[in-house]
Amino acid sequence: MRFLLRFASLVALVVAVIAGTIDSIQSVAASAVVLTPMGDAWKDVSPGSLAGLQSMISYYVHPRIYDLVVQWLLFQPAFAVFLVISLLLWMIAYKKPPVAGRFSV
């Protein structure tokens, strides 16, 4: 399980670096800071899944949850969202080193 969480953290980190690279290239081309919101990036990749997420959260959880939490998340920069996801997954999968040291049993 820890391996899957670490792998998912790595994938999220790679996506964050790619999104940050795209934003930096667009910023240099426009001579202004360009930050792609998570919602726009998601619409570019898979617009159907975004609509499915909205209907699923509205039906199974509560429509206000989508309005408050998910809408706020979709307006944040895509690279920052994926960096936070990567950090959270890494923290969940982290194994604390033994107190006695490397060669303890």
Q: What is the pLDDT of residues 29-75, one digit of tens each?
A: 999 999 999 999 999 998 899 889 888 888 888 888 888 888 899 99
Predicted confidence at residue 62, as pLDDT, reads 83
Both tokens assigned to 25:
């290239």
> How far apart, in whole angstroms, are the C-alpha atoms of residue 75 and residue 44?
14
- The C-alpha angle with vertex 60 and arms to 72 and 87, in degrees rounded to 5, equals 45
Phi and psi at 98, nearest 5°, equal: -65, 145
Is the Cα dihedral 16, 22, 25, 27 positive or negative?
negative
* pLDDT band for position 83 (cuts 50, 70, 90): very high
Can you give the pTM of this predicted structure? 0.81
